[in-house]
Amino acid sequence: MNRDSLGQDRAPRANGRKYEFLERITAVVLAIITASLAWMLLAGSEVAWVRLFAEKWEVAVILGLFTTALVLVSVLALLKSRD
């Protein structure tokens, strides 16, 4: 077999940072998720100043954050596994 058929003749990625922007966005969303978990713990212990909006809006925001995080992590993992 020659080198081309083994896939060893590919051009190297630019410092391995092909998906750096997507990684940064994902990291920010995951940090927000971590903060929202702490916020949910405080809201569950009935601290009065934690309630910012109606409960249904708070649930919708949390679900949106978790969905966004799941999609971003999945897309990033898929893209990195295809390289």
Task: Say if 26 falls within a structural domain.
Answer: yes
Task: Say if 22 falls within a structural domain.
Answer: yes
Q: What pLDDT score does 31 carry?
A: 96
Domain region containing 45: 18-82
Give me the count of residues in the chain. Answer: 83
Backbone Cα Rg of the chain: 20
* Helical H segments across the chain, by residue range: 3-6, 20-44, 55-82
Q: How far is CA 25 from CA 9, 29, 35, 43, 79, in A?
A: 31, 6, 16, 26, 15
Task: Say if 33 falls within a structural domain.
Answer: yes
The tally of domains found in the chain comes to 1
**Per-residue pLDDT in tens (0 to 9) along the chain, 83 residues:** 555 555 555 555 554 578 899 999 999 999 999 999 888 888 788 777 667 778 888 889 999 999 999 999 999 999 988 87
Q: What pLDDT score does 15 carry?
A: 47
Task: Say if 46 falls within a structural domain.
Answer: yes
pTM of the model: 0.69
Task: Say if 49 falls within a structural domain.
Answer: yes
Task: Say if 4 falls within a structural domain.
Answer: no
